[in-house]
Structure 1
Amino acid sequence: MPKITFINKQKTVMIAEGSTILDAARSAGIEIESPCNALGSCGKCKVKIPNPEHLGHLKIVESKHSVSAAELADGIVLACQTIPSADIEVIIKDYKEENSSLRILTEGNSFAYEQLPYITKRPKLNSTEVYGGDTLIGVEEGNTLELLYAIALDIGTTTIVAALIDLRTGIQIASNSILNPQAAYAQDVLSRIHFASNPEGLNTLYRSFIDALNAMIGDLVVQNKINASNIYEIVFSGNTTMIHLATGVNPYSLGQYPYTPQIYGGNHISAESIGVSISPFGLIYLPPIISAYVGADITSGILVSRLDEIKGTVLFIDIGTNGEMALVKNGKLAVTSTAAGPAFEGMNISCGMRASKGSIESFNVDSKGIFSFEVIGGGDPAGICGSGLLDIAGELVRTGVIGPSGRFVLPDSGTYSDFLKESFKEKNGKKVFFLSPDVYLAQKDIRQIQLAKSAIRSGIEMLLSYFNLSSDTIDAVEIAGSFGYHLNEASLINLGLLPQAFIGKVKFTGNTSLSGAKAFLLNVGFREKMKSLVKKIETVELAKESEFEKMFIKYMGF
């Protein structure tokens, strides 16, 4: 049995013959990102074998994203496709470093509202009573009236954001954010549903979330010198799959017709029952869920955007791995969701990465045909994040480097600038567009962009069709989400992700999932209001719409 030593994690594990390095890491409780779930199709589970002699002990399975000869010579292999036959040492990526530099939005649009929290306290002789609404939920010794905290939590497919709230004042004391550890096992909603379809997979995703949440709570209480036992409520705002996984409920039915959730929200569960380390009588509030693929995060967004109160026609879009959207016409609401995939998070892209230090986040081509870009944290680029990817594609479409079909217009037939032409070089026998000596855009990357943008655009068009509207009748477009906040209107229009008629109508509203979670915390009246409203919202199920496939094909081009 080979012995695998993870040097920078100070852990050693014995594995059975035929097991991979990824298998070894998982058995040791070490996180190695493998969002394609070990299919060898994402190329994100690279690890380093520091001892050249150990390379001879490896059987490497050929896969879609096999490492290059140069990488292999440097000891870089894919953990999911590498089988040790003898003892080896391994160095893996430090995710704490990526978390520390990751750009995650922690603010979203909201509005002024009366403060009426669900959790309150009342003094008693030598004790303090804690109430949830009108129900006594616990009694504490002494006077703890001034110790009254709660957490608003945005559970994204890629990131998790926690905001610590003082319920006496309504003030946000602090916030923190991390990568969702579940992304190391499965990168998007559908792959997580599949991963969690058996008890072992479900427990892996559930425990990884709970452990991460407890670590976030621990950081918040230490940094702000409070006690976790004085945190009494957490609002879980996230898409339907994330809410299932966060509460340990198998989401298998979300992946099977008729796509029925196991839970619908609008209720409390005990924090202790799912292993969350706050007050022993602490509660988790789950906002109302709209449908299998339109979750509590959109309920939160509808709440703080006050869509149901708007006079006129407004489109609300949360762009991410799961593109959820709502259209309101004079108070009548309809929603839908499209599987945009992980390209917007930098996944399945040759040089893709999350929005952390070293990623290209914006790109521009000037009137002379010379391009420039901005890198998060400055310095040389290490890769491209989602916002940079859409900027690059949008500018290359505008300047004619990428044609309407999505194919590169190569230098010998292109009419664009010499500077742009010089950026085309060969990589593994194919022409790619280089942004720096180490970062490039390949033809297959453009295909991923096309798939993602067509999914979003087709969803928009189907919602418009549901209301018998044309794009020029839309009064305003609100784009929510951490990813959406870093986009720019021009790139979205250039790519055709948004119709030309939306020019000048787009505004970016930030993390409304989080700001909505805060509103649910601070005004109990919103809970019944949204529970009632959700029942009136129409859901457009794209899988049932015969026109969706035609729309999808139509909007693949630029």
Structure 2
Amino acid sequence: MNNYRPVILAEQTVLNDFELDPLTRKISIDISRRGEQSNKGMVDSLRQTLHQRLGVPVSIPVPLMNDVLKFGRDGNEAITVTLTASHDINEEGKAGSYQLINLEPGDHTDFNVGLAIDIGTTTVVVYLVNMINGDIIGKASDYNGQIKFGDDILSRIMVAREEKGLKELQALIVNTLNELIQNLCTQFSLKPHDINGVCIGANTTMVHLLLGLDPGSICREPYKPVVNNAEVFCAKDIGLDVNPLAPTYCLPSIGSYIGGDVLAGILVSGMHKQEETSLLVDIGTNGEFILGNHEWLVACAGAAGPALEGGVTECGIRAEQGAVDHVEIDSEHSVRYTTIDNAPARGICGSGLIDILAELFLNGIIDRAARFTDGRERFIIVPAHESAEGREIFISQKDISSLMRTKGAVNAALEVLIESVGCRWEEIVKFYAAGAFGQYLPLESAITIGLYPDLPREHMMRLGNSSGEGARQVLLSNEKRREIEQIANKITYFEMNANNMFMDKYCGSRFLPHTNMDLFPSVKEKLAVRQSGF
């Protein structure tokens, strides 16, 4: 067993122990005397040797057969073969056969790298992974090139319906990935061909666009994706700039809205193995929610993110340099704020918006209906002379109403999910905040406005980039690949649009923090303290 730090995750996350059995492996073969007393073909001899060594059949693609001959003729005493497991992984997570994907002269078994990739609707992160010991060698990130067509999934699905739209969207994400891959290769003096395996975590739509599959049926009849599990394919099939035969695997999804990025969160948290009931929340461009334990898992999803990511507020921007990311307001209504990279303020990102809403509420500047108590239409966060562009940065009543609609939808979905399975809030022992937004979302502020449930803080954990970490684990372990596919088969999906309770819960959730204050005892206490003047 190997125990190593999952560096993609937040520090407080429990380490995962699993046996290294990566998507590809290297073996050194002595060829110095092979075939001296036999007229058997060199490829046949190598295939036989590998079968004897591994105990299972090994196939050798035609494009690599000449390399076997070349390296044998060149007088090499040893060659290194890179192998990938077949699709037929047994119950123990072991392969029933292997395929050769690369040959190198000499012994290079001490070096084997792959990629763990998180494709988000907004950002893309590529991790270079040492498949010998599981370590992260480096990472590169950038915006998803598809954002030129819109920040949300539906905008891109509409573009995909246009002539050549799907091809352009696929080209944009592949180009984004290849640029990041080239950056890593340059940084670590690698050739793209050195990369022998790829594992990708992404939502269902992003996977479809990456593979060049029509995503239209995700949001219209028959409301089903083309595929939930594309299984393993070659990197060359989509134009990734790595070893053309490198096995590439997209984490599986459930239906249209619970993507591989969310299943990665389940895998990483281990909630599917725990006796106690846990809740996982991943709020990004969409909101996905998973409830369950080792016996059962239920899920639902819905639109959530644009408002929380600053997409529909007048002064909202993405979480980038100069974004206001933390705000405090005192009893005199003076504002203190911080910005990303301590740069002059350019706008407000999602974490800043959540802080602002909570602080306005706690200081009585807005009421429980999220309306300004003095009738004003906006509240200034950054005066013009302090901002990067010489203009006031503020939050308006319209912005607040938009945030409340998003908050209400998230809260209502959680309530419906929990009540649908006969669960109570006090039965939830662990709460996991997944995804990049969950990593930076201010926990206390999220609870204050009712976006997150008011649970004991010691039971609440941030998972960090669980999509990237899940991809890393599956890249490094065939058993983990089998495990995440079992998770997919275990989940029951609840459709919110067809649930009569949703609108009732939604109406109750459009108050701060909720119409039922008893659900938020810590917020009641905060209000009492502030109102008393302490």
TM-score between the two structures when normalised by the length of structure 2? 0.78
Give the counterpart letter for 2:383 in structure 1. S
The residue type paired with residue 382 of structure 2 is L
**CA distance in 2: counterparts of 1:123 and 1:244, whole angstroms:** 38
8 A Cα contact 1:493 1:503, kept in partner: no
Q: 1:268 aligns with which of 196, 221, 232?
A: 232
Structure 1 residue matching 2:164: 3-state secondary structure: helix
The one-letter amino acid of 1:459's match is A
**Partner of residue 438, structure 2:** 484
Shift of 1:454: 1.4
Query: In the alignment, which residue of structure 2 is the partner of 1:362?
Result: 326
CA distance in 2 between counterparts of 1:452 and 1:186 reads 19
- Matched residue, 2:65: none
Between 1:432-441 and 1:466-475, the stretch displaced more is 432-441
**8 Å contact 1:336–1:542 — kept in the other structure?**
yes
Corresponding residue to 1:410 among 374, 397, 407: 374
Kindly report the root-mean-square deviation, in angstroms, between the aligned alpha carbons of the 2 structures.
1.9
Specify the alignment match of 2:152 in structure 1: 188
SS of equivalent residue, structure 1 residue 280: coil
Greater Rg over alpha carbons, structure: 2
2:128, 2:301 → 1: CA distance? 30
Partner in structure 1 of residue 278 of structure 2: 314
Determine if the alignment matches structure 1 residue 538 to structure 2 residue 492: yes
Deviations 1:363-414 (A, max 9, x none): 1123554321111121431110110110011111111112222222227xxx
Alpha-carbon separation, structure 1, partners of 2:461 and 2:373: 32
* Matched residue type, 2:287: G
Alignment of 1:152-171 (within 5 A): 152-171=116-135
Cα deviation code 1:433-490 (max 9, x no counterpart) = 3432221111111122112211211121111012112222211211011111112221
Change in Cα spacing, 1:219 to 1:552, as seen in structure 2 (3 Å) is same
2-structure distance, mates of 1:556, 1:243: 33
Cα separation, 1, equivalents of 2:464 and 2:283 = 11
1:536–1:505 CA distance, 2 compared to 1 (3 A):
same
Corresponding residue number in structure 1 for 2:292:
328
Quick one: which of 64, 83, 87 aligns to 1:131?
83
1:107-126 CA-partner distances (Å, limit 9, x unpaired) = 45451222111201222334
State the identity as a percent: 31
C-alpha deviation, 1:285, in angstroms: 0.5
Q: Is the 8 A contact 2:8 2:466 kept in 1?
A: no
Of residues 430-439 and 326-335 in structure 1, the stretch that sits farther from structure 2 once superposed is 430-439
Alpha-carbon distance in 2 for matches of 1:257, 1:399: 47
Q: Distance in 2 between the 1:242 and 1:180 partners?
A: 10
Instruction: Find 2:247's aligned residue among 273, 278, 283.
Output: 283
* Whole-angstrom distance in 2 between the partners of 1:292 and 1:168: 35
**8 Å contact from structure 1 (residues 129, 136) kept in 2:** no
Change (3 A) 1:379 1:282: closer
Q: 2:138 maps to what in 1?
A: 174
1:524 maps to a residue whose letter is: N
**Do the aligned partners of residues 221 and 510 (structure 1) sit closer, same or farther apart at CA in structure 2, a change above 3 Å counting?**
same
**Alignment-derived partner of residue 476 in structure 2:** 522
Cα distance in 1 for residues equivalent to 2:378 and 2:406: 23
Pairing 1:190-205 to 2, within 5 Å after superposition: 190-205=154-169
Letter in 2 for 1:216: L
Over 3 Å counting, the alpha-carbon distance change for 1:463 and 1:502 in structure 2 is farther
Q: Secondary structure of 1:338's partner?
A: strand
Q: Shift of residue 300 of structure 1? A: 0.9
- Alignment length (residue pairs): 437
Structure with the largest fraction of helix = 2
Deviation at 1:504, TM superposition (A): 5.2
Deviations 1:327-372 (A, max 9, x none): 0145311111111041122111111111111111011123554321
Structure 2 CA distance, aligned partners of 1:142 and 1:431?
A: 69
Measured against aligned partners, the alpha-carbon deviations of 1:247-273 in whole angstroms (never above 9, x if no partner) come to: 111111101144211111261122101
Please report the TM-score for the alignment, with normalisation by the length of structure 1: 0.75
SS at 2:341 equivalent: coil
Secondary structure class of the residue paired with 1:402: coil
Q: Is the 8 A contact 1:307 1:331 kept in 2?
A: no
User: Per-residue deviation at 1:288?
Assistant: 1.8
Cα separation, 2, equivalents of 1:448 and 1:325: 21
Conservation of the 8 A alpha-carbon contact between 2:335 and 2:381 = no
Paired residue for 2:404?
A: 450
